[in-house]
Structure 1
Amino acid sequence: MDEEELEKAARIAYDAIFGDEDEVEVNGEVYPMQRTSRKELRKFSIEGLTFVEQNPKKDSAWAQKAREGHQIMWVLDGRKYFVRIMDGNYLRLG
């Protein structure tokens, strides 16, 4: 997935997570909404990447922002966070 496709997929997943959609379509493929095993966070697995909402119950500045009402989603490649969307603003990390 190139940078343009990544941003498009991230925005689609973000809109779905915070719009309570059950599935998304990216590049002609349909991906169902999933939940994390322990925290019940909303997420999508798309082309080997994980798109997951911020856990507001964590003890972090990002969790505090989520508790304040900010809509935060992360994109992970394995265990590495490399994209954040907060309140609709896309940021590539690193």
Structure 2
Amino acid sequence: MSEQEQEYVFHPADLVEYAMDKPIGAARAALTIGLEDADVYPDIIIAELSGNMELNQRFLKKLTGALRKDPNKIIGDMPNRIQGLQFERDLGL
């Protein structure tokens, strides 16, 4: 396979890294797409990012690491608050 025939292999964590320094609209769209197959609702993650920017950067780095480890199973690497919100949503509360 030549270099021209090789295609970029998309990884969901790439979109999270992209979202780190973007305005909220672009970040929201990137996170929604990047978390499509993850075991957490994207809106829970997006809501968590409404806090201060320093916290957001640390959280997004943690999210990126979890996605790189296994893009379909990230909830175990998320803070307890997000795990709780996810559990409540799954139970329909």
**TM-score under structure 1 normalisation?**
0.28
More helix per residue: 2
**TM-score under structure 2 normalisation?**
0.28
More strand per residue: 1
